[in-house]
Copies of this chain bind each other. A is one copy, B any other.
Amino acid sequence: MLKTDASGLVAETQRLDGSDTGPVVLEPFVRGDRVPMHIQIHENLVLQLTSGKFGSGAELPPEAALCEHYGVSRGTIRQALAELARDGLIERHPGRGSFLRRPKFEGSVVGSYSQFRVEGPPLDPGAHVLDCVTRKADPVLAKALGLGHDRSVVMLRRLRFAGGVPVTLQTSALPAALFPGLAKHNLTERHLVDILRDEYGVTLVRAEEFIEPAICTAFDARQLGIKTGAPVFQIERRTFLPDGRIGEFRRAVMRGDVYRYRLDLR
């Protein structure tokens, strides 16, 4: 599809992605009351931009034009546009303009513009401690924890429940040097993160988590009350101290029949 103007002399701009698109032309706007203007404008733009009337890549009016259209100052317009950009609905380029974004549903990599959450029953407070011992880490675990000479680790296995039903089994490894006597504390009722902060003065600031599908082992199945071989999530988590060292390395098995991950893409 290549459009030309009436005279047939000027070909419409051909976009990089092969689709040609006109500019975004907005409907008249009536301002409501009580609701902040930047929110009204954001909602109004979301409605119009997702109406399907404009092709992806279509150029939005410049900020100055939007100020006039909506009858507000530049700061207010920018607040609404920043929200749109954060949602991934538009892209903004200094010196060029703002453009409607093409949804990238087909791509392999889902960017950070998606919403994410776990769906399932909330965890009960507390945990059932299966065991908690201090031992020498094997080389693989020592490397995962970033340990040097002292390879002593506290190994902690906890079973957690939701509505009285066991749903996840967490196996944690913590550097014993950082948390001497950890096993003596009340790991059943207190959150691990609270004990580390209140008893050892350690604040955990960041964590990374890797999620994979797995087959439930016989031991895990017995603990979780499901069948051996049932599909489960295997979740590996590293939690970091402010200085970058690893405070906890955890591998958890979570029931796949109770929890699922949900993404919202735009």
Residues of A within 8 A of B (CB): 1, 19, 50-52, 55-56, 75, 86, 103, 105-112, 114-123, 162, 191-194, 197-198, 201-215, 229, 231-233, 239, 241-242, 256, 260-266
Residues of B within 8 A of A105 (CB): 193, 204, 207, 239
Residue pairs across A and B with Cβ atoms less than 8 A apart, 24 shown, are A1-B198, A19-B194, A52-B202, A56-B197, A103-B193, A105-B193, A106-B191, A108-B162, A109-B117, A110-B118, A111-B117, A116-B263, A205-B266, A206-B264, A208-B262, A209-B263, A210-B262, A213-B232, A213-B233, A213-B256, A215-B229, A215-B231, A229-B229, A261-B261
Residues of B within 8 A of A116 (CB): 110, 112, 114, 116, 263
Contact B103 A263 (CB under 8 A): no
Give A52's nearest chain B residue, CB to CB. B203
* B205:A52 contact, CB within 8 angstroms: yes
Q: How many angstroms between the C-alpha atoms of A239 and B266 in the bound complex? A: 10
Q: Contact: A50 with B242, CB < 8 Å?
A: yes
**Which chain B residue lies CB-closest to A125?**
B106
Q: Min CB distance, A248 to chain B, in Å?
A: 9
Other-chain residue from B119, B211, B260 in contact with A262 (beta carbon distance below 8 A)? B211
Q: Determine how close the nearest CB of chain B comes to the CB of A92; give it in whole angstroms.
A: 15
A123 to B105, CA, bound (A): 12
Of the candidates B205, B211, B213, which one forms a contact with A263 in the assembled complex, judged by CB atoms under 8 Å apart? B211
- Say yes or no: A52 contacts B241, CB within 8 Å: yes
Complexed CA–CA distance, A19 and B196 (Å): 13
CA distance A210 to B193 in the complex (A): 29
Check A242/B210 contact, CB under 8 A, given A123-B107, A198-B19.
no
List, in ascending order, chain B residues with CB within 8 A of A266's CB.
205-207
Min CB gap A44→B, angstroms: 15
